[in-house]
Amino acid sequence: MTINRRTLLKRSALLAAALATTKQNAIAKALEQTGLKDLYKNDFYIGTAIGNARLNNPPAGFNALVAREFNAMTMENDMKWERVHPEPEKWVWDHADKFMALGEQHGMYMVGHVLVWHSQTPRWVFNDDAGQPLSREALLARMKSHIDTLAGRYRGRVHAWDVVNEAVDEDKGWRKSPWFNQIGPDFVDHAFRYAREAAPEAHLLYNDYNMHNPGKREFVVDMIKRLKKNGVSIDGVGMQGHVGLEYPDIAEFEKSIEAFAAEGVAVHITELDLDMLPVAWDHIGAEISDSFEYSDELNPYPNGLPADMEEKLAARYAEWFKLFLKHRDKIARVTFWGTGDSESWKNDFPVTGRTNYPLLFDRDYQRKPAYHAVAALKK
């Protein structure tokens, strides 16, 4: 059969179109299989916090999304004292064990949260059988037993521990928690020493919010220096990263990254989310004892985030990730405090019943414009 030139050109065009379509499909499939963890693999870990609601009853495709997008996982609540050790002789391991199994299945960098914190810790921890405050020695023994049991159970499996959480007030020095009041400021030293004994291979962190605050920055730097002078092993500082459209001053946040790194510790961005709602308090923080009454003024987007606000969210996230990339030599990990908007604590804190949009995935776990803005920095 003789093929004329017109037929040959037509067939060539059809073949080229088919090849182009195949290539486009291949690119689309590759993008579907590529997540932030792949884009940022040469920079720092990309993590998410997992709560037991998603752990035990994940929406369709949730586990696959987590495996695609992240290479680090933090247990949101169920390694905290009130959940894992609610009574003196009672330990609840189901959720923490399931969290570990999920992370290990996907080769995640596993983060334990948290060993010593004043909040979400039962009152019995600090009191004797008569309800009186424990002595320094008795409370230190209780702290050691808890750390030995919890960190010891996951020894060699949890890669990083938030050893002490939120022990510093803003410009006032030590938070006057029961740990501080009954033991003294060296409770931090003991916590890190106990953690090192129980988890010798783990990366040990001090974790706190409002770390851009110059007073808190200076205090934490001095704390790191004192710990090291006393021979206490501290490997990193967790900067929680609960931020908003207008706060904090990124320049101050950057100064803290630089100041902590200058002390020879790694910086972890541990609880990143971006509040899209009006500020409901006079200070910016993550003090969970705060709460405010609901009002329509404090919940302006109950039915969805307007397009202009989506753009602002995307631009602000890009701004933060440009900073993180600038300091990739100092930052070990960036962890979002949740995966999709529906599960974020920001929906109910500090005002119960609000609808917030602080993460990169929407309530159906679809990528938001903010996600694409962060991804575009690496493409």
Residue 193 structure tokens: 């020493």
- Exactly one of 76, 271, 310, 343 is catalytic; name it: 271
Q: How many CB atoms lie within 10 A of CB 349?
A: 19
- Which three-class secondary structure state does DSSP give residue 133? strand
Structure tokens of 78? 């169920």
How large is the angle between the packed helices 307-326 and 250-262, nearest 10 degrees? Answer: 30
Strand 203-208 to 266-275 pairing: unpaired
> Contacts from 366-371 at CB under 8 Å and sequence distance 24+?
368/310, 368/313, 368/314, 369/310, 369/311, 369/313, 369/314, 370/274, 370/310, 370/313, 370/314, 370/316, 370/317, 371/36
How far apart are the C-alpha atoms of 102 and 115, rounded to whole Å?
Answer: 21
Distance CA 60, CA 170 (A): 42
User: Is residue 271 flagged as an active site residue?
Assistant: yes
Cα–Cα dist 2/4, whole Å: 6
The candidate with the shortest Cα–Cα distance to 157, out of 105, 94, 90, 117, is: 105
Which of the residues are catalytic?
271
